[in-house]
A and B are shown apart, each in its own frame.
Chain A
Amino acid sequence: MTRTLVVVGHGMVGHRLVEALREKDVTGQWRVVVFAEETRPAYDRVALSSYVDSWDAESLSLAPHEDDAVVLHLDDKVVHIDRDNKVVRTTKGRAQPYDALVLATGSVPFVPPVPGRDLPGCHVYRTIEDLDGIRATVESARAAGRHAGMVLGGGLLGLEAANALRGMGISPHVVELGPRLMPLQVDEGGGGLLKRLVEKLDLTVHTGTSASSIEQDGERLIAKLSNGVELDLDVVVFSAGIRPRDELARSFGLTVGERGGIVVDQACRTSDEHIYAIGECANIGGMVYGLVAPGYSMAEVVADRLLGGSAEFPGADMSTKLKLLGVDVASFGDAHAKEEGALEVVVNDAVAGTYAKVVVSDDAKTLLGGILVGDASKYTILRSLVGRPVPGDPVALIGPEGGVELSMPHDAQVCSCHAVTKQQIVDVVNSGDAVDVPGIKACTKAGTGCGSCVPMLKKLLSECGVEQSRALCEHFDHSRADLFEIVRSTGITTFSDLITRHGRGLGCDLCKPAVASILASLDNGHVLEGEQATLQDTNDRFLANMQRNGTYSVVPRIPGGEITPEKLIVIGEVARDFGLYTKITGGQRIDLFGATVDQLPEIWKRLVDAGFESGHAYGKALRTVKSCVGTTWCRYGVQDSVSLAIALELRYRGLRSPHKLKSAVSGCARECAEARGKDFGIIATENGWNLYVGGNGGFTPRHADLIASDVDTETLIKLIDRFLMFYIRTADRLQRTSTWIESLEGGLDHLRDVIVNDSLGICADLEAAMEKHVDNYADEWRGVLEDPEKLARFTSFVNAPGTPDPTISFREERGQKVPVLLGVPSVVQAEVSR
C-alpha cells in the first residue's frame, strides 16, 4: 500500500530528500506531500549572492519535481502537528495525514537585540525576498546619491553580504564582534591578511566591536558602535549567525537541544519514531550544521531509511573554500589545531599576500587540517589528504612552487557538496560518458553545488588525458590567444608567413579572418592592404555589411549618438540620391541599405567630405558607445554622459577584437542608455563612474557585472584600456566578453585582480598597447578613397565596371525600396556573420 510522506519545508535539503526518495523508490511505496512556507519552490540558497548579478530569480531555481507522486503546496506553512493521529495542519487550513513526517525547516537569521533593529533599511540575508528588500533600500538611497552600508557580522555570510552590497554600488562597513574576520574559519594570521586584502577593496572593517544602537535620522540611519564610532548609513544587513527553526518541534513536544536544533539520532529520527528532522534545523550528534553538504547527507539517510535501509549519518566535513571579494579563503579539517599535541606549520608571505597553515599530528606524519588565505589553489588536494600520511616535509605542502607534487588518493572526495570521489569521476571520464566539465556534472552531480571543485574537475579531465582542443581550425593547432602571442612576439605581419611557419595548408574562412583580426589589433596598416584583403570576412572585405541579396548597408559613425542637423541632412541627401533604405539602429546611428559594390566608394566620398568616418558596423570591432543626454539636459543626471560616450567612442574606434564590442554610458542610476547590456557599460554616480563589464544582448542576454565603482574619468579610461586589451589578447575567436570572462580561471574576480590590482604586472603594457592603437588610428574609408588600387576592387564586373549586377532588383514598401527576394529557399547555417 502506498504510504504518505509529509515534508515540512521546501529548502535545499527538503528538495534533495524528495529527489533522492523518488529516485530510489522504484516500486512507488511513497507518495510525497511537501508544504513550503516560501512562495516559490526550493532554490539554490548557496548561490543566493549571485542573484545580485542578474536579479533573475529563475537562475537560482533547482530542478522541479516533475512527478505525479509529489504534491507541493507553496505559501502554506505547517503550524500544527497532531502526533497521536499523525496529521499536520497548515495556515491555509489543510489537514494532511502522514505515515512519516520530515522536518526540513532550515534556520532563521539571528538578529541581535540591538535597539532600532526593526527600522526600515535594516535587513537580513537569507531569501530572495530579503535581497529584493535590500535592493529597494539601496536603490532609493542611490537615487538620492548616497551609498553607505553596514553589515553586522564578519563571518562567511557577512562577507558575502558585504560583497553583494558592493555589487550594488555601496561601500560597506563590516562590524565583527570577534577579534578577526571569519573567526570560525581562519586564525589570527589568516584573519589579519584577509582584513588587509578586503580593505583594499573599499570595505571598512571594524573588529572586536558591535552595534549598540541604530537610530533613524531623517532618511538615514545612525549606528553607534560599542567602541564609540558612529556610522552614518543607508542600509544595514544583519548577518550575525543563524538559529535552527525548531519551533514546531518545541511546541509539539519533540526533544530539542540545549542550544537549539531538533535532536535526532544517526538515522535522523527525532524523539518520535515517525518524525525525522534534516538540514539546518537538525541537531545531530550534538552539532547543528549550517552548511548544505551535511544536510544533503541527512536527506540521503532518510530516503534510505524510508525504504527500509539502515543508512547512518556519516559525519560531516566542515571544510570551506570560498572566494570573497576576490580573496581566496579556505579552511579544512582541524583548522584550529584542537587535536592533542597537534603541530602548526605556517607560511606567511606578506609580499605575495598569501597565508597558509597546515596542522599535522604530533609526530608530523599525518595531515589534520589547515587554512589558506590569498591563494587556495591547493585546497581540494590538501583536504583530500586529511587523515593521511604527509608526503615528506609538511612545509613543502604549502611552500612556494617546486615543492612536492601532490596527487589525490582515489577514494578522496573531490566534490563535498555531492559526496563524489575522484574514482567516480575518473570512471565516467574513462568510460567516455563524460568528455568535459558539463558532462561530469550531468553524470555525477559533482560541481553543481558550490562550484568550488570545478577547477579540480578540469584537472582530473586532463589527468585522464582528455584534452579540450582549443585549436583554431584544421590549419592551426593553436588557440586564437596563442596565435596572438606568436604574432605579437615574432613580429610576423602576413598570414602566409604565419601559416608556413606555424600552421599547414592554405587556410580557411575560420583562420583567415581570425588572423586578419589579430594583425589589425596589432596595427598592421589598412585592413585591405595587399594580402590582408584576401583574409577578410564577408563584411570586412568591402567595409560594409552584406545583406541577403548581395547588396551592402552603410553605417557612418555618429559618436555617442550626437549629431548636428547639418550632418543629418547630409545623410538624408545621400540616402535620397542613391535610393537607399534608411533605418535607425539600436546603437543610436543610421543604417543605409541597398548599396551595390560600385556605389560604395561614391557614397563614402560624399560622407567623408561631410566629415563622417567609418562606423565599423561591418567589423569585429568597437561598434558604438550609446549615451543618454546626462547632466546637459536631464533633470536627474549626475555626470556628463554624452561627453564621456563621445570620448570613449573616439578613443576606441577602429579597434579590432575577437568579436564585436558595444558600450553605453548612462548619466545616472536610472540607466536610460542600457549600459549594463553592453560589453563595457558605464553608469554615472555622484562621485564618478561605475564600470560594468561582460554584458550583451543577442541569443543569451546578460547583464554586465560591476568591476569598479566611483572612479574618476582618468582611472575609468585606464581600466577600460586594460580590459579591452586583455580581452583582445586572450579571448577565443568569436568569443564575446561575457563568455570570455566566464572562461577565465577565477572569472570576474580574476579579471578584477588583473586589471584593477595589476596582479600579473601587465597593466602598463596593456595601456601602452592601447595608446599605440589610439595614435595609429586612421579612417578605413578615407584610406580606400585615397588609394586607387583599393578603389579598383569596388567594381561590379572586371570586364564591365559600372554595369549593375542584373540579379539585384528592388520593390517598394512603406515608401522605401527593399530587396526583391531571390527565388531560392534560404538555407541558413549555424554561422551567420552578422
Chain B
Amino acid sequence: MTPVCELSALRPDQGVAALLPDGSQVAVFLTSAGTVHALGNIDPFSGAAVLARGIVGDRGGVPVVVSPVYKQAFELSTGKCLDDPSTGVPVHPVVVTDGVIQVGSP
C-alpha cells in the first residue's frame, strides 16, 4: 500500500491522479456519498492518462467516471466499461488510515 494524499485533499466528485512506485498511475475519486475509489488512470480507448479528469456521476444509478477523451463510462467500483463491457480499467484496493488514503496494487 502506498500513501498518496490526505483524504481532506480530495473534493467530492473531483478526481486526482497519483503516481505509484512501479511507475503506474491511479485515478483517485471521493464520491459525494463519501466512498473512495482508485482506478487505473489510463483510458483504454485513447491511451491517455486522463481518467482522473473525467466527470463523476451515475448511469442508471451505477456510479461512474466518464473518460474526458471519447466519453465512455467506467464503473467506479469494478472498473468495467459500460459502453464496451469487453474492456475496463484495473481497480486498486484503497484504505483510509488516520485520514490518509493508501492505494495498493490491483
Contact = CB atoms under 8 A, between A and B. Distances in A.
A516 to B, nearest CB: 10
Nearest to B87: A827
B95 interface: no
B53 A541 contact: yes
B70 A824 contact: no
Nearest to A551: B48
Nearest to A474: B60
Contact of A507 (B14, B19, B58, B73): B58
Contact of B45 (A536, A550, A826): A826
B15 to A, nearest CB: 9
A827 B83 CA distance: 11
Contacts of B14: 533-534, 793
Contacts of B47: 549, 807, 822-824
A533 B25 CA distance: 22
A827 B49 contact: no
Most chain A C-beta atoms within 10 Å of own C-beta, residue among B44, B57, B61, B71 = B57
A781 interface: no
B58 A832 contact: no
A796 B50 CA distance: 10
A797 interface: yes
Given A508-B59, A827-B70, A534 B18 contact: no
A505 B4 contact: no
Interface residues of A, number: 45
Interface in B46-95: 46-50, 53-61, 63-64, 66, 68-73, 83-84
A804 to B, nearest CB: 10
A11 interface: no
B57 A507 contact: yes
B66 A508 contact: yes
Most chain B C-beta atoms within 10 Å of own C-beta, residue among A796, A806, A808, A829 = A829
Contact of A798 (B9, B32, B68): B9
A512 B50 contact: no
A385 interface: no
A506 interface: yes
Contact of B71 (A512, A550, A799, A831): A831
A824 B58 contact: no
B55 A824 contact: no
Contacts of B54: 509, 538
A506 B17 contact: no
Contacts of A513: 55
B57 A542 contact: no
A535 interface: yes
Classify the interface of chain A: helix, strand, loop or mixed. loop
B69 A538 contact: yes
A546 B53 CA distance: 10
Interface residues of B, number: 46
B19 A800 contact: yes
A771 interface: no
B70 A828 contact: yes
Contact of B17 (A474, A475, A548, A798): A798
A513 B71 CA distance: 13
Given A797-B17, A798-B9, A508 B68 contact: no
A833 interface: yes
A465 B3 CA distance: 58
Most chain B C-beta atoms within 10 Å of own C-beta, residue among A546, A550, A800, A833 = A550
A799 B32 contact: no
B6 to A, nearest CB: 9
Given A506-B57, A799-B4, A832 B49 contact: no
A508 B64 CA distance: 8
B50 A824 contact: no
A789 to B, nearest CB: 10
Contact of A509 (B9, B12, B48, B55): B55
A807 B71 contact: no
Nearest to B50: A550
A805 B49 contact: yes
A541 B68 contact: yes
Contacts of B44: 824
B48 A799 contact: no
A613 interface: no
Contact of B48 (A508, A807, A833): A807
Given A807-B42, A827-B45, A506 B68 contact: no
A744 B61 CA distance: 34
Interface string B1-45: 011110001011110111100010100100110000000001011
A508 B55 contact: yes
B86 to A, nearest CB: 11
Contacts of B3: 799
Given A506-B32, A824-B44, A550 B49 contact: yes
Contacts of A37: none
A537 interface: yes
A832 B12 CA distance: 26
Contacts of A533: 11, 14
Given A797-B18, A798-B18, A829-B71, A534 B83 contact: no
Interface string A479-521: 0000000000000000010000000011111011100000000
A299 to B, nearest CB: 50
A131 B94 CA distance: 72
A727 to B, nearest CB: 25
Nearest to A511: B57
Most chain B C-beta atoms within 10 Å of own C-beta, residue among A511, A533, A798 = A798
A799 B10 CA distance: 12
A512 B84 CA distance: 23
B48 A548 contact: yes
Contacts of A475: 57-58
A795 B73 CA distance: 24
A803 interface: yes
A505 B60 CA distance: 8
Interface in A539-564: 541-542, 546, 548-550
A36 B61 CA distance: 63
B19 A550 contact: no
Contacts of B56: 506, 534
B71 A546 contact: no
Contact of A546 (B5, B9, B45, B69): B69
B82 to A, nearest CB: 11
A833 B55 CA distance: 13
B36 to A, nearest CB: 13
Contacts of B28: 798
Contacts of B57: 475, 505-509, 511-512
B100 to A, nearest CB: 11
Nearest to B57: A508
Interface in A620-638: none
A803 B19 contact: yes
A832 B70 contact: yes
Contacts of A537: 55, 68
Contacts of B23: 806
A217 B6 CA distance: 86
A797 B13 contact: no
Contacts of B61: 505
Closest 8 CB pairs of A and B: A822-B47, A550-B48, A538-B68, A508-B57, A824-B47, A509-B66, A506-B58, A534-B13
Interface of B: 2-5, 9, 11-14, 16-19, 23, 25, 28, 31-32, 42, 44-50, 53-61, 63-64, 66, 68-73, 83-84
10 contacts: A474-B60, A508-B66, A509-B57, A533-B14, A541-B68, A793-B14, A798-B17, A798-B28, A823-B47, A826-B46
Given A474-B60, A797-B25, 16 more contacts: A505-B61, A506-B13, A506-B63, A507-B58, A511-B57, A512-B57, A535-B55, A538-B68, A546-B53, A550-B50, A793-B14, A797-B19, A798-B9, A823-B47, A826-B45, A829-B72
